[in-house]
């Protein structure tokens, strides 16, 4: 038995001529009943009628709000929750200091001065990318003037990398004591030419990276 009627009644006489009208789809009772069965959802135990079998319903009340869930920037200056938060911070700091071990008992910490650095890990670590080194402040004024002279005479040959290797210092120190504006402008022009060849996706990725870098300080 059909639940809907066709738009055109089909006669019992001569066959109907061919028509260009689209055929109408009818949904029968079996299809409708099957769809209604899919919507049948069992009732929740709390609203179901009482039965002879015992039913356990777990519906705990909502917990009390915590003071630490609200950031400080949203609290007024005279709010009581600010004092509770400060008291908790001081108590936790004192507890951490009472339970911390002495610096001399932690392996890997210097003994000459008190230090709260974490101990060196005992597990095997992967090999370092470069050999660890300590900063050296061994360059004299004569060597610094020599660095400036070499950098100004031939900046193409005496780059910051070569000067740092020659005098045993960092590239940052070379760039700080021997600045070369002409070389910096030349490198900037080369970088600008390279950026002109970028596609739209790479340019958008670079802009997004710069935008995220600007927001680093705001999230702190």
pLDDT of residue 8: 45
pLDDT level of residue 149 (50, 70, 90 thresholds): very high
How far is the C-alpha of 171 from the C-alpha of 192, rounded, in Å? 23
How far is the C-alpha of 34 from the C-alpha of 39, rounded, in Å? 9
List Cα–Cα distances, 48 to 39, 52, 160, in angstroms: 18, 12, 80
Structural domain boundaries of the chain? 69-95
- DSSP state at residue 127: P
pLDDT of residue 84: 84
Opening angle at CA 217, ends 65 and 171, nearest 5: 145
- pLDDT of 133 > 80? The answer is no
Joined together, the tokens standing for residue 135 give: 């900063």
How far is the C-alpha of 157 from the C-alpha of 183, rounded, in Å? 11
pLDDT of residue 81: 82
pLDDT of residue 161: 92
- pLDDT of 150 > 90? The answer is yes
- The answer to whether the beta carbons of residues 96 and 116 sit under 8 Å apart is no
Q: What are the tens digits of pLDDT across the range 6-22?
A: 444 444 445 555 667 67
pLDDT of residue 17: 56
Average pLDDT, the chain: 75
How far is the C-alpha of 203 from the C-alpha of 197, rounded, in Å? 10
Can you tell me the mean pLDDT for 46-66?
A: 64
pLDDT of residue 216: 83
How far is the C-alpha of 175 from the C-alpha of 163, rounded, in Å? 10
- For tokens 């003071």, what's the residue? 67
């Amino acid at each position: 038995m059909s639940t809907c009627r066709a738009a055109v009644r089909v006669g019992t006489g001569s066959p109907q001529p061919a028509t260009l009208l689209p055929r109408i789809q009818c949904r029968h009772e079996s299809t409708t009943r099957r769809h209604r069965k899919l919507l049948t959802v069992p009732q929740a135990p709390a609203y179901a009628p009482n039965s002879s079998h015992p039913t356990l319903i777990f519906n705990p009340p909502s917990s009390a709000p915590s003071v630490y869930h609200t950031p400080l920037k949203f609290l007024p200056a005279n709010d009581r929750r600010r004092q509770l938060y400060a008291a908790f911070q001081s108590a936790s700091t004192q507890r951490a200091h009472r339970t911390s071990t002495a610096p001399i008992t932690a392996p890997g910490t210097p003994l000459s001065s008190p230090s709260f650095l974490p101990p060196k890990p005992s597990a095997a670590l992967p090999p370092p990318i470069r050999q660890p080194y300590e900063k050296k402040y061994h360059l004299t004024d004569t060597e610094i003037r020599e660095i400036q002279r070499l950098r100004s005479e031939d900046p193409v040959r005496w780059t910051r990398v070569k000067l740092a290797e020659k005098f045993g210092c960092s590239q940052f120190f070379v760039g700080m004591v021997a600045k070369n504006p002409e070389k910096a402008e030349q490198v900037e022009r080369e970088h600008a030419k390279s950026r002109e060849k970028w596609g739209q996706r790479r340019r958008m990725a670079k802009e997004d990276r710069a935008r995220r870098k600007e927001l680093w300080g705001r999230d702190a």
